[in-house]
Structure 1
């Protein structure tokens, strides 16, 4: 132990006993088995990166660049539909700040209402199976999350995390809300959530918190944020459908990746003996 950290010396590390097969052919067979899974994992990771890069590039084409009122890429049926119009975000939905609670309200037996925090927003997805706090408090009906709601990090010690957001894209069987450092955006349609993924949104958030010592957004900041959007709901829906199809591919690949990692972990537990049960 050094400086309060757990350390291991080189001698201790190299003297760790790891049971391995004596037969070189068996070692090679195990290595080939695990290497094949590693190759599938790497391929899934690369596919996810490619899909995310494709989506980012497509969004830059489907939404107007800075200083423009029409996008570079428009679906053929809307080529003559006129310029996009400026809208405030509150034209597309409502914002609700999260629940305030204290450590005394936290339940030790997962009773009460679940509370999501900024740590639950990872890679534009909500993580519900860890870091979920349950509290013995009552939230308002507006604060109770619904499928399709977008959770936004409004305050954080790191500027890079403020404004990050993710949609609740699954059905849940328990009551769920967000903490006071987050807000809920309840969109009127699917198109609206993509307004929180544009380059202009990212730039707006950076400017909104750029000059302050406290990295904090207010609901009023987001409500009054102006973005250009199609006047026709049909064009909004077309854009949402296009981007949703890519999101579905990303989710499918992410689920495949997690399944492969779980499979490898389980396989390694079967292929290698438990050290606690190993006898000389």
Structure 2
């Protein structure tokens, strides 16, 4: 559903769309491409404060809160210029580099650590479309070409400004973004059901062998 390298039309397409896609640099789409806080944040961790979005919360195009870190009010307010807003895209910049996610409404005004932030779109764009494009084989290959480091991989926000993406008109972006979001929602639903069944099995086994 995304063009192959060197092509400007995808092989699989929703009905009604025939226009060629454009290849664009991210800086022509996103008004701001910058780093979230990258210093030491552990002194500001608290038991229950402001949720702090970190790289381990971003995987495979989605945000998970399996492991949560919270920061105090003072440190949170210092990050105000880099707070995340609904529709922003974040990318892991160290470790499992290139993994991205879109900021949902419930995480508006969240602070983040060691992530690249894409925001202030210069035009009407579907962030979920861009999010899924980062997960394609072609994008992962291009990301690999600008990743540095042997033991710990790293990518720079400045490198992402010239990163090229394939862009169709907004209506087609929206169609593709919604399609993959529905797939992710279905996977999440079945995963929860599977986890519930596993928990039930574990509980029954414990009761039967007491």
TM bin, normalised by shorter chain, reads 0.7 to 0.9
Q: How does 1:49-68 map to 2 (within 5 A)?
A: 62-68=1-7
Across the aligned residues of Structure 1 and Structure 2, the Cα RMSD in angstroms comes to 2.7
Partner of residue 43, structure 1: none
Partner of residue 244, structure 1: 181
Partner of residue 120, structure 1: 57
Q: Which runs of 5+ in 2 are unaligned?
A: none
Structure 1 residue ranges, 4+ long, deviating more than 4 angstroms after superposition:
none
CA shift, 1:144, in A, is: 2.1
Q: Is the 8 A contact 2:61 2:135 kept in 1?
A: no
CA shift, 1:201, in A, is: 1.5
Partner of residue 226, structure 1: 164
Equivalent residue in structure 1 for 2:116, among 170, 174, 183: 183
Q: Which runs of 5+ in 1 are unaligned?
A: 1-61, 274-280
Alignment: residue pair count = 201
Residues 1:75 and 2:14 are matched in the alignment:
yes
Partner of residue 199, structure 1: 137
Residues 1:162 and 2:97 are matched in the alignment:
yes
Q: 1:261 to 1:139 in 2, by over 3 A?
A: farther
TM normalised by structure 1 equals 0.61
CA shift, 1:147, in A, is: 4.0
Alignment deviations for residues 100-135 of structure 1 (CA, whole Å, 9 cap, x no partner): 443563334323x33222222344432214142434
Greater per-residue strand proportion: 2
Q: Is the 8 A contact 2:60 2:135 kept in 1?
A: no
Q: Is the 8 A contact 1:151 1:178 kept in 2?
A: no
Alignment deviations for residues 15-58 of structure 1 (CA, whole Å, 9 cap, x no partner): xxxxxxxxxxxxxxxxxxxxxxxxxxxxxxxxxxxxxxxxxxxx
Greater per-residue helix proportion: 1
TM normalised by structure 2 equals 0.79
Q: 1:265 to 1:169 in 2, by over 3 A?
A: farther
